[in-house]
Amino acid sequence: MDRILIRGGNRLSGRIAISGAKNSALTLMPCALLTDEPLTLRNLPRLADVDSFGHLLNQFGVSTMIEGGRPTDFGRVMTMRAANLTSTVAPYDIVRKMRASILVLGPLLARMGEATVSLPGGCAIGNRPIDLHLKALEAMGAEIELAAGYVKATAPGGRLPGGTFRFPVVSVGATENALMAAVTARGTTVLENAAREPEIVDLCNLLVAMGASIRGIGSETLEIEGRERLHGATYAVMPDRIEAGSYACAAAITGGDLELVGANAGDMRATLDALIEAGVTVEETHDAVRIAAGAPLKPLTLSTAPFPGFATDMQAQFMAMLCKAEGASVLTETIFENRYMHVPELARMGANIEVHGRTAVVRGSVKLVGAPVMATDLRASMSLILAGLAAEGETQVARIYHLDRGYERLEEKLQGVGADIERVGDG
């Protein structure tokens, strides 16, 4: 199994191209199920999760074609066509690999009037039930049955009537599933307390490009007027705000200066605000966001929250960065209850972190030292990379298949800005 080796201490400087957003790509791809016409997605990141989702779509009879280009190119163009769906069953052996697979439930139900989807897998970062997905679909007229580890949903008469649902708590995935189910309903659907993440806006914009009628895009109330059918479209995936934030932390922890080319500052405002509070210089240019570390980092008090708050997907990276801050920082995780699994691995490298329930106290100004560490989930793996970049000596990060799920050619991008990093096999 591959590992990543990092010899730390180098100051990072230069330009890094930000890839298409993983979290958006996995939401846009199932939209191919909503039409029999081609859907072409540009700026699609080269990631294991994207490949897995493509295989899942193939399971339903969707053809997928990737345009030519060198294997070393970043980003891809994929055309998907669901001219004739041959199955409405998403099997366990595919779905278990990633939680985003549940997002085929809404569009399959909308297109075919039925869907049978295995309960999902993905990162082990806490209990992430799909009850809100199912309750939203039921409010729109779906009949739901759970049996033998599968969700079976049917639309009476073959088409959902639509309805009104208020999410008791904000849920990105449930909002996405409900949106895709609603766009071809017979009537109007209103989603209240809907998620407002940029990835939700990206999904809405694609659906509108396919002929959907959605009002309130970017707000907490979405009104969807069902259409008889949607058509194909060509659409570019938004830049990855979490990847951009991760590389911003890399600049900060190494005392570096990086231009994040293509990053959208508006999508990552909470991350940038936190970096500024920590004493990092943030500058928006015509094609990039520049991150420059100057004076020693200042400690922070941060709490994760739904957008526009501080993203839970940035918590682990900031924890690593704050190991170099002068003073004690306090991080509170409000989204997932088991997202501090990287703390023992950071401690192996010299980090001083105390966890009390959902709160972690990071005592900075420590000397980080390279060590063998093991990734536990996608964002935790990036926190170990960041610590390795700032550590003395060599860090070995194992189980990097987590990284490959969410960061496109990470070591190549970091090598390009001065990091001493490489991927090696066990052989």
Answer left, alpha or beta for residue 365, where phi above 0 means left and psi between -120 and 50 means alpha: left
**Is 230 part of any known ligand binding site?**
no
**Sequence letter at residue 124:** A
**Is 99 part of any known ligand binding site?**
yes
**Is 22 part of any known ligand binding site?**
yes
> What values do phi and psi take at 156, rounded to 5?
-55, 130
**Is 399 part of any known ligand binding site?**
no
**Of 129, 91, 136, nearest in space to 110 by CA:** 136
Whole-number Å distance between alpha carbons of 77 and 71:
13
> What values do phi and psi take at 128, rounded to 5?
-130, 75
**Sequence letter at residue 114:** E
**Is 298 part of any known ligand binding site?**
no
Catalytic residue selected from 31, 123, 249, 323:
123
> What values do phi and psi take at 92, rounded to 5?
-60, -40
What 3-state DSSP class applies to 376? coil
* Token pair of 418 as six digits: 């001065």
**Is 130 part of any known ligand binding site?**
yes
Rounded to 10 deg, the angle between the 315-322 and 378-390 helix axes is: 20
**Is 253 part of any known ligand binding site?**
no
Active site residue 123: yes
**Is 23 part of any known ligand binding site?**
yes
Whole-number Å distance between alpha carbons of 255 and 389:
11
> Is the distance from CB of 13 to CB of 257 less than 8 angstroms?
yes
**Is 313 part of any known ligand binding site?**
yes
**Is 166 part of any known ligand binding site?**
no
Annotated binding-site members for UDP-N-acetyl-alpha-D-glucosamine: 99, 128-132, 313, 335
Annotated binding-site members for phosphoenolpyruvate: 22-23
Annotated binding-site members: 22-23, 99, 128-132, 313, 335
Active site members? 123
